[in-house]
């Protein structure tokens, strides 16, 4: 089992007792989605924006708790047969807002921090306010456009909804060209690419090592690469020109679900 799948399976197993308990109440999945966002994200943003190491750690814990609770609404919706496009849209929208708020708050925290880039406390690199703002803006807009393009592909071919099935198709085939595997790994980060394109993982590593600015730089670079490939794929899908393999697989899975 790949790292991301193992993490998801562990989280689902951990929240299952709570989901079974909530299933006996009148609480809806959408209510959990909204309450989860309103409780954890403002607190996480507040602590990230303070900029010191301890506050950033607290902000990270709150962000992880938000992600943990985020498993509950989807599992509850499936258990109570309350899954809907509106619920999926709400969850996706709040996750996008969360990403944006966290990146903005980390940028503000760096502006408030006394040490912006420290090599294990031995040597401090001087980073200007302008550099922090530019990197923060690049990371923010890259994340925003990633979501925009991914939502477009989701609406047209259900790319993210069928992500695990697409992964299984790729694993079952040995003759997939390397460029197609790389494209799939960037568009749908699961195995090794999850450590590079998963912004939460990068933020967690950066906060723990007290290298938040370096993390923000990496997020800005990797997510702009992902934006370029998502934009390229979206263009080809909309033009109907020689779809990449990942889109052909997604279309095939979508057509099978309609039969």
Question: Tokens 């779809």 label which residue?
Answer: 243
Who wins on pLDDT, 117 or 17?
17
Across the chain, what does the average pLDDT equal?
A: 85
Q: Where in the chain is the domain with CATH 1.20.120.1760?
A: 1-113
pLDDT score of 119 more than 60: no
With 70 as the cut, is the pLDDT of residue 197 above it?
A: yes
What pLDDT is recorded for position 57?
Answer: 94
pTM: 0.83
What confidence tier does 139 reach under pLDDT thresholds 50, 70, 90?
A: very high
CB atoms within 10 A of CB 235: 11
Q: How far apart are CA 221 and CA 217, in angstroms?
A: 6
**Token duo for residue 203:** 């933020």
Give, in order, the Cα–Cα distances in Å from 13 to each of 7, 21, 64, 75, 163: 10, 14, 16, 11, 20
Tally of CB atoms within 10 A around 32 = 21
CA angle (109 as vertex; 105, 110 as ends), nearest 5: 120
Distance, in Å, from the CA atom of 103 to the CA atom of 202, rounded to the nearest integer, reads 12
Cα(199)–Cα(251) distance, integer angstroms: 27
Cα-Cα end-to-end distance for the chain: 30
Spatial distance between the Cα atoms of 250 and 158, rounded to a whole number of angstroms = 7
Instruction: Classify residue 151 as exposed, middle or buried by CB count within 10 Å of its CB (0-12, 13-18, 19+).
Output: middle
Instruction: Answer whether CATH 1.20.120.1760 is correct for domain 1-113.
Output: yes
6 pLDDT higher than 80: no
Q: Which of 53-62, 124-133, 161-170, 205-214 has the lowest mean pLDDT?
A: 124-133
Question: Residue 85: CA atoms inside 13 Å, Cβ hemisphere, count?
Answer: 4
**Residues with Cβ within 8 Å of residue 225, at least 6 apart in sequence:** 186
Angle at 74 between CA 72 and CA 78, to 5 degrees: 115
Which is it for the CA torsion 168, 143, 241, 177, positive or negative?
A: negative
Tokens (6 digits) for 141: 């807009």
């Amino acid at each position: 089992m790949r790292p991301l799948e193992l993490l998801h399976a562990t989280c689902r197993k951990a929240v299952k007792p709570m989901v079974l308990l909530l299933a006996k109440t009148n609480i809806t999945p959408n209510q959990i989605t909204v309450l989860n966002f309103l409780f954890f994200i403002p607190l996480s943003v507040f602590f990230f924006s303070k900029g010191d190491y301890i506050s950033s750690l607290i902000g990270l814990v709150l962000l992880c708790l938000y992600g943990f609770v985020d498993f509950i609404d989807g599992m509850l919706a499936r258990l109570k047969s309350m899954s809907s496009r509106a619920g999926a849209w709400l969850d996706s929208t709040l996750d996008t807002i969360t990403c944006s708020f966290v990146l903005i708050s980390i940028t503000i925290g760096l502006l408030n921090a006394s040490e912006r880039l420290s090599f294990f406390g031995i040597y401090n690199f001087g980073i200007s306010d302008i550099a922090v703002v530019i990197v923060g803006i690049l990371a923010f807009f890259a994340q925003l456009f990633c979501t925009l393009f991914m939502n477009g592909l989701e609406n047209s071919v259900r790319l993210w909804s069928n992500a695990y099935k697409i992964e299984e198709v790729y694993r079952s085939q040995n003759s997939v060209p390397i460029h197609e595997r790389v494209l799939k790994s960037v568009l749908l980060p699961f195995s090794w690419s999850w450590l590079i394109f998963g912004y939460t993982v990068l933020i967690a590593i950066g906060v723990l090592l007290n290298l938040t600015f370096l993390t923000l730089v990496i997020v800005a670079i990797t997510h702009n690469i992902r934006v370029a490939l998502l934009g390229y794929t979206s263009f080809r899908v909309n033009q109907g020109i020689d779809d990449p393999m990942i889109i052909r697989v997604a279309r095939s899975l979508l057509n099978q679900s309609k039969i």
